[in-house]
Structure 1
Amino acid sequence: MRLLLVLMMSALVGACSSQSVKSPTLPDTDGSVDLSVSWRATLGNGPGSSYTRLKAVVQDDTVYAADTSGIVSALNLENGRERWSTQLDFAILGGVSVAGEQLFVSTNDGSLVCLDTATGDVVWITQLSSEAVSPASTDDARVFVQTVDGRTSAFERADGKQAWSYQTAAPVLTVRGTGAPVVLEQLVVTGFATGKVVALDKALGIPRWNVRLASPDGRSELERLVDVDGAPIWDNGILYAAAYHGKIAAISQMGETIWEEDGSSYTSPELALGSLYLTLEDDSIQSYDMVNGAKAWKQTALTGREVGQVTAIGTQLAVADGEGYVHTMSQVDGHITGRILLRPRPIHMSFPNQGEATNWRALRGKDFGIRSTLVATDAGLLVYTNTGELLLLNVES
């Protein structure tokens, strides 16, 4: 059983056992950053309460985005106008990734789909061993995909034929998600639900080294749950990776650990201004020194708000939460500088013979929140909401 099922059951029990669910208090902001909507476009129905995290991609002046309903779209970055839209036969779980004239998404029937970036036409479809819930990665000749069964596979970009496949044993319980593989000159590096980061030979798929970031300790399956769910980040010859119920570490290309620190997380780290920023499992944001891993500041005011991955834009950091807010904070000390609400305003709700309902805010936050990673562009900040809206935000300070 996946952790997703455990979380859904817990949410249902909590909703039924209590008539009142109090939302976390919004922290103060100094108002030094102004957030406004430049444009918005409806892509589809959105992921709703499912834990799908689709991320838009920008190439030149075009935004490529996908909706869980199976729609893949290309839009003008400047004004959000649609350039083309393609409806696939199955729901989309992983994507989007773009390389030159090719765009890749994965669907819930276990397929990897390649489309033409100019027209949206399907170029080829190949079958995966299981579902892929993260974007594919590419080099000049191949596309690399990690699937939820613990397998990383390479396919030829020209025709989708499989070149090699590597698999690890999947634990009984895992975090619902995988990180996109990191493609280096001779290696493909990816994190697995075993708590390990594994470097594979890019040509052959043979493991060259591995580093353990988390150990499955404890009496129960839940206590032993570990996972490298967020994609590692490669920068200036160093790989940065974080694990759930584990550590954040800097690793050399040869697999040597340069430094490691406590930092349980299921998101990818973000790098900016010589620092590494990470959303921890309790929704706090931790800043680390990239050179030695020393902890700088920690922002705890967003705890309990279902905060997503950190994105750097200009001198600011941006995160989205489960109620539909986008928050900005200073990269220097983490203080909150701005905020905008991107979901419908609260409305009064009541049910016949049941009195007033007071737990609707938390339930609506699941639908109208923002789970997908924010994308920084030269034009602003791209946001894909749980209701299927894609927005470009102006970020001015």
Structure 2
Amino acid sequence: MRVTEKLVAASLLVLVAGCSSLNPFAKKDPKVEPAPLVELKSSLAVRDAWKYSIGKSGVYAFSPALSGSSLYVVSADGALARLDAATGRETWRVKAGSDITSSAGTDGSIVAVGGAKGTVLAFDADGKPLWTYQASSEVLTAPVVSQGIVAVRSVDNRIVGIDAKTGERKWVVQRATPALTLRNAPGMVVGGANLYVAQPGGKLMALTTATGVVRWENVVSEPRGATELERVSDIAGAPVVFENEVCTVTYQGKAGCFDAATGVPRWTKPYSSDVGVAVDQRFVFAVDEQGAVTAFSREAGQSAWKNDGLARRRVSTPASFGRSVAVGDYQGYIHFLSREDGAFIGRVSTDGSPIVSAPVVAGSNLIFQTQSGTVIALAVE
């Protein structure tokens, strides 16, 4: 299934650029069929606000990057574009000069992407090249740009802080990589002065963005089992900072929320996922490795509801959007579930290709990117 297809064997291979991996988009096991889609009478009026074609993602998972009213999208063959998030109008589109391996990261002034063989490429707000930096190995995680720093994580689990103006390295933090990990681009996110970094082996780390000083490092879930496969417990997707908490989920581990300042757990629950979480005022939404969508109470982690109608459909990271929770699947469908009880309330189709990356909420639009390169913004009427 999707999770085992993402596994990367042997830490020695992880330590070199272009590490070997299994294809995360391989065909499904014919013995385990995805759940069929039931006929649905929609109670949610969803319309296309706009569409844009950027180009195929290949074996990578690209999410749009939002900064203010601008959206930055990339393709595997090196296309980088800036769009108006409300209308989809193209502001500019450039060729990066390299294949691209990560989503863009931006603060609105600097745009950075991971390129071929660990190259990091930076551009200004008009799409003009600024500098390049050579990371120690392949970059799958979207860079984070904040406080004059471009933070980059490579697959050998090295996090570097690069001066956003000059491209010079300012700081570096290195952590060990387990023998077996998910090839899933564990994410980073900024909250205040901190950079929260998802780690393989079930760890979550908070750094001071400007200096790289480790504020705290906590174990979300301990690896367990007799074999390396059973012991895979990587954080999935990007952590989410909401108010004074940071929430996340691991594969073969736990979902939970932690105090953003100290790392002290607020709550954790046994769970297994290979995609990230969504958080709103009341709930934490997660998708387990079989495709079931669950809502946890954000306050204490009690299960509010569970919908397993998308079993084995390779469901994406969810998004809380108005009165709904939205997810994409391997056939390019976007499903809307009731935020209150998890019932299906709407469904739209895209281009038929998988949606494996995290969606973005931009004002009144919900934006997805498919593997074939369609960027689609949806609005609810």
- Normalized against structure 2, the TM-score is what? 0.89
Deviation at 1:31, TM superposition (A): 0.7
Give, in whole Å, the separation in 1 of the partners of 2:271 and 2:355. Answer: 23
Q: Distance in 1 between matches of 2:163 and 2:239?
A: 23
1:233-283 CA-to-partner distances (Å, cap 9, x unmatched) read 112211212111111122112121121111212222211241111111111
Q: Does 1:153 align with 2:160?
A: yes
Question: Partner amino acid for 1:229?
Answer: A
Q: How does 1:190-229 map to 2 (within 5 A)?
A: 190-229=197-236
Determine the C-alpha separation between the residues in 2 that align with 1:116 and 1:204: 23
Look up the match of 1:386: 371
Provide, for residues 255-312 of structure 1, a one-character-per-residue CA deviation record: whole Å limited to 9, x for no partner.
2112111121222221124111111111111111111111110111011100000011
CA–CA distance in 2 between the matches of 1:9 and 1:309? 15
Equivalent position of 2:46 in the other structure? 35
Paired with 1:381 and 1:99, the residues of 2 have a C-alpha distance of 20
Secondary structure, aligned partner of 1:394? strand
One-letter amino acid matched to 2:49: S
Alpha carbons of 1:9 and 1:133: their partners in 2 closer, same or farther (altered >3 Å)?
closer
Amino acid at match of 1:47: S
Once the two structures are TM-superposed, the CA of residue 145 in structure 1 deviates from its matched residue by 1.6
SS in 1 for 2:106: strand
Which residue of structure 1 lines up, in the alignment, with residue 290 of structure 2? 282
Q: How far apart, in 2, do the equivalents of 1:222 and 1:310 lie? A: 26
2-side partners of 1:103 and 1:11: how far apart? 31
Q: Give 2:187's match in structure 1, choosing from 180, 184, 208.
A: 180
Q: Give 1:185 shift.
A: 4.1
Deviates more, 1:84-93 or 1:208-217: 208-217
- Measure the CA separation in 2 of the matches of 1:314 and 1:129: 41
Q: For the structure 1 residues 181 and 38, does the alpha-carbon distance in structure 2 shift closer, same or farther, using more than 3 Å as the test?
A: closer
Partner of 1:260: 268
Shift of 1:73: 0.7
Describe the superposition over 1:295-352 as per-residue Cα deviations: whole angstroms up to 9, x where unpaired. Answer: 11011101110000001111111100001100001110011111111125xxxxxxxx
Query: How much has 1:8 moved relative to structure 2?
Result: 3.7
Preserved contact between residue 35 and residue 309 of structure 2 (Cα < 8 Å): no
Identify the range of structure 1 (1-10 vs 376-385) with the bigger mean alpha-carbon deviation: 1-10
Please say if residues 27 and 302 of structure 1, whose CA atoms lie closer than 8 Å, have aligned partners that are also in contact.
no
Aligned residues: 365
Measured after TM superposition, the shift of residue 219 of structure 1 is: 2.3
1:327 counterpart residue number: 335
In structure 1, the residue matched to 2:310 is 302
Task: Give the alignment partner of residue 362 of structure 2, picking from 373, 377, 380.
Answer: 377
Maintained 8 Å contact 1:270/1:310: yes
Please give the secondary structure, in 2, of the residue aligned with 1:27.
coil
Q: Give the C-alpha shift of residue 78 in structure 1.
A: 4.0
Give deviations 1:89-123, integer Å, cap 9, x for gaps.
Answer: 22211122221321111112212211122x21111
Amino acid at match of 2:94: T
Pair 188,58 (structure 1): closer, same or farther in 2 beyond 3 Å: closer
Q: State the alpha-carbon separation in 2 of the partners of residues 183 and 62 from structure 1.
A: 18
Give the SS at the match of 1:194. Answer: helix
Q: Please name the residue that 1:128 is paired with.
A: 135
Contact 2:149–2:210 (8 Å) recurs in 1: no
1:29-108 aligned within 5 A: 29-44=40-55, 46-48=56-58, 50=59, 52-108=60-116
> What CA distance in whole angstroms lies between the structure 2 residues aligned with 1:211 and 1:142?
24
Contact 1:247 1:263 in 2 (8 A): yes
* Distance (Å, rounded) in 1 between the aligned partners of 2:371 and 2:193: 37
Judged with a 3 Å threshold, the aligned counterparts in structure 2 of structure 1 residues 81 and 256 are, in CA distance, closer, same or farther, namely: closer
Structure with larger Rg: 1
TM-aligned CA deviation for residue 186 of structure 1: 4.5
Runs of 5+ in structure 2 lacking a partner?
9-19
Alignment of 1:159-170 (within 5 A): 159-170=166-177
Instruction: Work out the CA distance in 1 between the residues paired with 2:295 and 2:289.
Output: 14
| Secondary structure, counterpart of 1:94 in structure 2 | coil
* Equivalent residue number for residue 255 of structure 2: 248
Measure how far apart 1:9 and its partner are: 9.4
In structure 1, list runs of 5 or more residues that go unmatched: 345-367
Q: In structure 2, which of residues 110, 116, 119 is the aligned counterpart of residue 111 of structure 1?
A: 119
Corresponding position of 2:14? none
For the residues of structure 1 that align with 2:196 and 2:69, how far apart are their CA atoms?
A: 30
Structure 1, 28-37 or 291-300: larger mean CA deviation? 28-37
The CA distance in 1 between the partners of 2:299 and 2:86, in whole Å, is: 37
Where does residue 16 of structure 2 map in the other structure?
none
What letter matches 1:33 in structure 2? L
TM-score computed with the length of structure 1 as normaliser: 0.85
Summarize deviations over 1:60-113 as a string: whole Å, max 9, x none: 443221111110012233443322111122221112222132111111221221
**Alignment partners' CA distance in 1, 2:218 and 2:68:** 36
Please say if residues 82 and 90 of structure 2, whose CA atoms lie closer than 8 Å, have aligned partners that are also in contact.
Answer: yes
Please tell me whether the aligned partners of residues 110 and 129 of structure 1 are also in contact (alpha carbons under 8 angstroms). Answer: yes
Aligned to 1:24: 35
Taking only aligned residues, the RMSD between alpha carbons, in angstroms, comes to 2.3
Q: Residue 339 of structure 1: which of 335, 347, 364 is its match?
A: 347
Amino acid at match of 2:190: V
